[in-house]
Amino acid sequence: MKPLVPVPRGARIVLGVAFFVLFTAVWAVATLGGFVSKTFLADPVTMVQSGWTLLTKMGFAYDIGMTVWRVLGGFVIAAVLAVPLGVAMGAWKPVEAFFEPFVSFARYLPASAFIPLLILWAGIGEAQKLSVIFIGSFFQLVLMIAVAVGNVRRDLVEAAYTLGSSSGSLVRRVMIPNAAPEIAEILRMVLGWAWTYVIVAELIGASSGIGHMITDSQALLATDQIIFGIIVIGLIGLVSDLAFKAANRALYPWAQLGR
Amino acid sequence: MSGATSGGVAAGALPILQVRALSRTFHTAAQGATVALQATDLDVAENDFVTILGPSGCGKSTLLRIVAGLDQPSTGEVLLDGVGVGGPGADRGMVFQSYTLFPWLTVLDNVCFGLRERGLPRAEQLEIARDFIGRVGLASFENHYPKQLSGGMQQRTALARALANRPRMLLMDEPFGALDHQTRELMQELLLGIWEHERKTVLFVTHDIDEAVFMGGRVVVMSARPGRIKSDRAIGFGHPRHYSLKTTPEFGHIKAELTEELRAEVLAAAGQAAERA
């Protein structure tokens, strides 16, 4: 195999699906073949059956809905505030000098460690869940967006000035459109991280959500349900990721050229 | 036209561009102060095509960038129509050596960019832009993105973008420097054809002697660093110029002289580099 030689589309799909099949097969052999105790790891068939029960009889769809709502809510709040701040930091160096050191520090504060504090401040309601996701994603978004905006090619900036751009229109008409595809990629990536934060938030002090179901199942040693919950999160993550990618391709066709 | 402006400006007429005692010194921690441009005076007359020829690193791009307002002089001043130049502006259009089309805009919207900055209605923007896109021969490519174009086509678009903005003068910093030889020659003819039609005042930086002589009504040779103007001569060929001009004895004669002048500067520059090393 030569490095960087692309694979045909058909072969790529086959290869991608093949690993899922292999993974499931190994899991099935390990559990159904009796190599691993059912107490520790449920087999795929039981997992699917109890997943079905969860969805049809135990209102798991509501939990999924709650979790999706929390992720999107927290993430949208973080993005709405982080995008303008990141753009301002990328464009205006004094703004960056003011915020950057603090934001760099804040992004290493573990969002999950804030949960006890947030419960104290915001209770165990939705505000607490949204806060965890906000803390986990806001600072990351700000820093990465600032870098993306600030990395505009200097000769494009100069070209805009010689065409009569003012500082304001340079930001609006050059720096933002230039960074837009990268900002969209950053949003896609951080949304993925937001999914891990929501589950952590729901593991502690929640009365609904996928994370809550997983904690409940742990008390019952229902590994089948836990695995089903984890897989549901993975599937939703995958779908949102593909949707984001498709949207980016549709919104920024020029950024796909020459890739 | 070309002969009348020999070495400067006809008496009485205010030159469009006046460069007065302009110098630029760069300060770096590693090398200390480097004089890129020594006190330089230059007048450019309305409708003239002035080429600035010099070895690489002679400060010719620095001079052009200061005229464009993209760099600040250490001393001296630049006057456009008698008014001091402080920063970049739409009155001095620029074509860069690097490809500076906005990748997120189509050819059409790239050419509209400056017109939109001026707040023209969209219909008017499109009309002007299509006119200039047609003049550079890209009418069937107006909906292409820059990445879908060859280097030569990108520079043609950049030229259309600069001209559509109706600048007082056009500054060109080795605009064809990144192109292959054949494309470069076609671009020279294209630019010359447009210039013969518009007579826009042009300041054109290059290190290519053929290009400087073929394009210029006047060739200004710059010395090796620290840069200063070494010679300034009118090129008497009339217009329109045909590419076969490059093979005439007169052309060869001028080229030979300039080659000698430039060679001395390149050797001087190489000597300096050896000293520093």
Chain B, 57 to 86: residues with Cβ < 8 Å from chain A are 68-70
What is the pLDDT confidence band of residue A259, given thresholds at 50, 70 and 90? low
For the packed helices A60-91 and A176-203, what is the interaxial angle rounded to 10 degrees? 140
Query: What's the complex ipTM?
Result: 0.90
The pLDDT-based confidence of A84 (bands split at 50, 70, 90) is very high
Is the pLDDT assigned to residue A37 strictly greater than 70? Answer: yes
Task: Check if A177 contacts B (Cβ < 8 Å).
Answer: yes
Give the pLDDT score at A124.
82
Q: What are phi and psi of B201, to 5 degrees?
A: -70, 130
Classify the C-alpha dihedral A201-A205-A211-A217 as positive or negative: positive
Q: Is the pLDDT of residue A57 over 50?
A: yes
pLDDT (mean) for A99-123: 89
Min Cα separation A14/chain B (Å): 31
Give domain B47-74+84-91+170-277's CATH architecture.
3-Layer(aba) Sandwich (3.40)
CA distance B267 to B168: 37
Amino acid A122: pLDDT: 85
Tokens of A165: 């751009």
B2's tokens: 């070309």
| Averaged pLDDT, A231-250 | 91
Query: Which chain B residues are Cβ-neighbours of A255 within 8 angstroms?
Result: 103-104
> For the structural domain made of A40-256, what CATH number should be given?
1.10.3720.10
Q: What pLDDT, on the 0 to 100 scale, is given for residue A258?
A: 60
Rounded CA separation A232/A229 (Å): 5
Nearest C-alpha in B relative to A154: B100
Mean pLDDT of A214-242: 90
Cα gap B44→B201, rounded to integer Å: 8
In which residue ranges of chain B is CATH 3.40.50.300 found?
Answer: 47-74+84-91+170-277
**pLDDT per position in chain B (277 positions), as tens?**
333 444 444 555 789 999 999 999 988 888 788 888 888 899 999 999 999 998 887 889 999 999 999 999 999 999 999 999 989 999 999 999 999 999 999 999 999 999 999 999 999 999 999 999 999 999 999 999 999 999 999 999 999 999 999 999 999 999 999 899 999 999 999 999 999 998 999 999 999 999 999 999 999 999 887 888 989 999 989 888 988 999 999 999 999 999 998 888 888 777 777 776 6
Contacts of B161 in chain A (CB under 8 A): 163
Question: Does the beta carbon of B148 lie under 8 angstroms from any beta carbon of chain A?
Answer: yes
Domain boundaries, chain A: 1-36, 40-256
Give the DSSP per-residue string, B193-240. Answer: HHHHHH--EEEEEES-HHHHHHH-SEEEEEPSSSB-EEEEEE----SS
Q: State the DSSP code for A148.
A: H
**DSSP symbols for B110-169:** HHHHHHHHTT--HHHHHHHHHHHHHHTT-GGGTT--GGGS-HHHHHHHHHHHHHHT--SE
* 88-127 of B, contacting A, C-beta below 8 A: 88-90, 92-94, 96, 98, 100, 102-105, 113-114, 116-118
Of A156, A162, A165, the CB nearest to B93: A162
What mean pLDDT is predicted for residues A194-202? 87
pLDDT tens-digit map of A134-155: 999 999 999 999 999 999 999 9
Does B96 contact A160 at a Cβ distance shorter than 8 Å? no
Of A158, A169, A258, Cβ closest to residue B117 = A169
Chain B CB contacts of A259 below 8 Å: none
- The dihedral over CA atoms of A80, A82, A83, A89, expressed in degrees to the nearest 10, equals 150
Residue in A with minimal Cα distance to B105: A254
> So what's the pLDDT on residue B2?
39
A216: its two tokens: 């409940």
Q: Please check whether residue A163 touches B, CB under 8 A.
A: yes
Question: Between chains, do B90 and A155 touch, taking CB under 8 Å as contact?
Answer: no
- pLDDT-based confidence at residue A39 (cuts at 50, 70, 90): confident
Residues of B with CB below 8 A from A178's CB? 102-104
